[in-house]
Amino acid sequence: MSDHAYSAAERTAIYRAIGERRDMRHFAGGTVAPELLGRLLAAAHQAPSVGLMQPWRFIRITRRELRGRIQALVEEERVRTAEALGERADEFMKLKVEGISDCAEVLVAALMDNREPHIFGRRTLPEMDLASLACAIQNMWLAARAEGLGLGWVSLFDPQALGALLGMPAGAKPVAVLCLGPVTEFYAQPMLVQENWAEERPLSDMLFENQWGERP
Ligand SMILES: Cc1cc2nc3c(=O)[nH]c(=O)nc-3n(C[C@H](O)[C@H](O)[C@H](O)COP(=O)(O)O)c2cc1C
């Protein structure tokens, strides 16, 4: 064991948050105390980022009418997604894919504008800005689970329409509508597994040695 390791209880807590984090779409209303919201945003802001670019921007939605307009955009895209799915359309329409109206807080996570000058780590892989933003959201997701709050990542929207609605400058791009707040209970498994939409595959399917497809 490394001298730098956390205590056994702390390690258990870290792995517990990772294992019990769920994408939540059912919320119990309520509120998130300002200090707690501040802790979650600070957790997001401590994420790693390519070239220390910190490309994340968060817009807290506090106007109820604006929340409704965001939900309308998600609903439009939900219908378009169902159409694109073809034979699974009806099954998809039965899934709950967002909790915008019943969550305590809605945050829109976006990539900043003017990203082109940032080439450290992005010259060949420009999408590393998005990877960095995803790290920030994951930090918030895990911290929220530890605090007993649910968080759901909604990506069913037209980014141009949402960017325009929130007054984003050209080049900025919304990536997630985050639904955050108290829940009655956390799903025991990913909701898409519970609803028989998808199956989880084991780690062993994803792990190769030396060459793609070669099993350890
Ligand atoms: C990048 C990203 C986008 C997602 N977008 C949506 C979404 O639009 N609607 C939704 O219901 N779930 C969305 N999810 C949640 C996934 O469906 C969920 O993470 C997956 O089913 C595994 O469940 P778990 O997060 O509870 O482990 C998204 C997750 C990620 C990482």
Q: Which atom of ligand 1 lies closest to the CA of 193? A: 21
Contacting residues for 117 by C-beta, under 8 A, at least 6 apart: none
Q: At 174, which helix (H) or strand (E)? A: strand 173-181
- Locus of tokens 């399917």: 205
* pLDDT tens-digit series, residues 58-114: 999 999 999 999 999 999 999 999 999 999 999 999 999 999 999 999 999 999 999
Q: Using a 6 Å cutoff on CB, does residue 27 contact ligand 1?
A: no
Does the predicted model carry a pTM greater than 0.85?
yes
What three-state secondary structure class fits 75?
helix
- Is 190 touching ligand 1 by the criterion CB < 6 Å? yes
- Cross-sheet strand order for the sheet of 150-154: 56-61, 105-111, 173-181, 150-154
Q: What does the block give as tokens for 27?
A: 């919320």
Q: Ligand 1 atom 30: the closest Cα is on which residue?
A: 153
- Determine what percent of the chain is predicted with pLDDT higher than 90: 99
